A and B are shown apart, each in its own frame.
Chain A
Amino acid sequence: MEEKNVFFDRKFVFLSGKGGVGKTTTSSSIAMGLSKRGHKTLLISTDPSHSIGHIFEKEIGPKERQIRENLYGIEINVKEESRKYIDGILKQAKEILSPVILEEVKDQIELAYHSPGAEELALFDVISRFFAVEEKYDNFVFDTAPSGYTLRLLALPKALNNWINRLIKTRINSMKVEYYATRNPDKKLKQKLEEDPVLKILYKRKEQFELARKILLNSEKTLFMFVLNPERLPIEITRDSIKELEENKIKIEALIINKITSDSSPRSEKEAEYIKEIENEFALRRIFKLPLMPEEVHGISSIEKISDILFSQ
């Protein structure tokens, strides 16, 4: 059974689900299980409350740190990353632009930080950074997933690809015409195109989109999972999200039902009904079940316990 476990042959595992369903606990357990079976694994948390540090009782932070043999962790605050990006642009603008114009564009740059979709694109930047270094680890486990919005943009080649290609084409064209309009150009056109900072930025984005597309839409390399609790609302949300993602060719191959109570209380009986409903509705997918732990999940040993339950299914 163990060799058939779906986690082993996927380089990238993403967990989706509403806040509080237990994404961080389950992703920690998956990473733990992989590392115990000899896979060098990186666990990536984008939870702003630094929860993997709490779970493993170790300071982790924004630099990769070893947690135990074969297991590494990193905590990234997406808001902070986004701030760094904006500040970098502001600094660049200060160097190039006149004070009057700087004043005018400063607001627009600042506004982009709060614009709808900014946080999702910032998260996408954080996630795709690891695609470029995929040979460093056997497995990458994320306690989050790119938003439905980002995945949709990537899944539609017409959306992002055409957009960036057209921008590149317009820029090259614009530089060409400008070159011909210059009477005594100081450099050759080819050199100008190579040195253009605008084209450099555009090519960097194009590369990022292409790589992310190749990885996220490849179900041999990437696994998307949903974590949910046996309750009405999470089931409804999961159903809607799965439908939406699968319309865009993102397959959700596995579900983890977390925090199942197993006493004979009325709550537990209702849960059994919900679990049956989930099993019927998502029959084509791999379903994992995890009990509600008697104590708060804390420390390596409790993660090991959950991981053993997960990897024995």
Chain B
Amino acid sequence: MKNEKRSFWETVKLFFKGMVIDTSYEVIEAAANMEKDNFMIVIFSDFLGIPNPLSYYTIELIPYFGNELPGWELRMSDRKSVLAKAMGEVGEP
């Protein structure tokens, strides 16, 4: 009896956790990736064909971002239009 009750509460907790916390983490994670991508544009702009007049200084940062380079390149080349991205964030009407 006691066990059943606990598992019921456990279920309720999990339900709310899944509904509120997990989805919000997903949103924040996406935001975190976007912030990082933006920063990497400054450092790796040469990879996108945008010359950087201060590349002599920004290369100092390459070691700390290199491991994320393949994923970043993929995301950069596959970026949807600004509108599509905005739609994705608020959800399609």
Contact = CB atoms under 8 A, between A and B. Distances in A.
Contact of B35 (A93, A108, A113, A174): A174
A207 to B, nearest CB: 13
Contacts of B64: 96, 197-198
B25 A96 contact: no
A176 to B, nearest CB: 8
Contacts of B54: 117, 121, 163
Contacts of B25: 181, 183
B67 A96 contact: yes
Interface in B5-62: 25, 28-29, 31-32, 35-36, 38-39, 42, 44, 46-47, 53-57, 59-62
A118 B58 CA distance: 11
Interface residues of B, number: 29
A163 B25 CA distance: 31
A167 B65 CA distance: 14
B59 A102 contact: no
Contacts of B39: 167, 170-171, 174
A177 B61 contact: no
A98 interface: yes
Contacts of A122: 56
B55 A112 contact: yes
A312 interface: no
B70 interface: yes
A92 interface: yes
Nearest to B52: A115
A181 B61 CA distance: 23
Given A170-B35, A177-B28, A178-B35, A115 B55 contact: yes
Nearest to A90: B63
A109 interface: yes
B66 to A, nearest CB: 4
Contact of B31 (A89, A118, A177, A201): A177
Contact of A180 (B28, B63, B66, B70): B28
A173 B31 CA distance: 10
Contacts of B44: 108
Interface in A191-219: 197-198, 201, 205
A96 B32 contact: no
B65 to A, nearest CB: 8
B69 interface: yes
A105 B70 CA distance: 11
A97 B67 CA distance: 6
12 contacts: A89-B60, A97-B67, A108-B59, A112-B59, A117-B54, A118-B56, A122-B56, A163-B54, A173-B35, A180-B28, A181-B28, A183-B25
Interface of B: 25, 28-29, 31-32, 35-36, 38-39, 42, 44, 46-47, 53-57, 59-67, 69-70
